[in-house]
Amino acid sequence: MTRNAEPSRHERKAVLEATIEQQRVDLLVATDRWQAAAHPLDAGWQAVHRYRVPILVAGGLLLLPVARHPGSVTRLGRKALVGALALDRLRRLLTRFR
């Protein structure tokens, strides 16, 4: 140490190097945790990616009736929306009386 109690250049360098090394270790641990958490998503994406052509063909075949009669999808969408709103109101009503 110098006369005014400041750390020397070598001591500061050692502290900085230790800090960097700790940050590297923290980064490696965080990377392992992130990869472990993302593994199920990656596996699911790989399965979807593997079967993308059959999925696209099936989706196209399902869209053929919609292209021929688009009004039926609109009616079905309205009914689904009304049903979802009714269920939401019923849920709110039941939670209010508990």
Give the pLDDT confidence of 66-94 residue by residue, as tens digits. Answer: 888 888 888 989 999 999 999 999 999 99
Closest by Cα among 32, 1, 29 to 21: 29
Give me the pLDDT at residue 3, please: 60
**Residue position matching structure tokens 């900085």:** 16
pTM of the model: 0.46
Give me the pLDDT at residue 96, please: 87
Do 66 and 73 meet the contact criterion of CB atoms below 8 Å apart? Answer: yes
pLDDT tens digits along 28-45: 999 999 999 999 999 999
If residue 27 lies in a helix (H) or strand (E), which one and from where to where?
Answer: helix 9-50
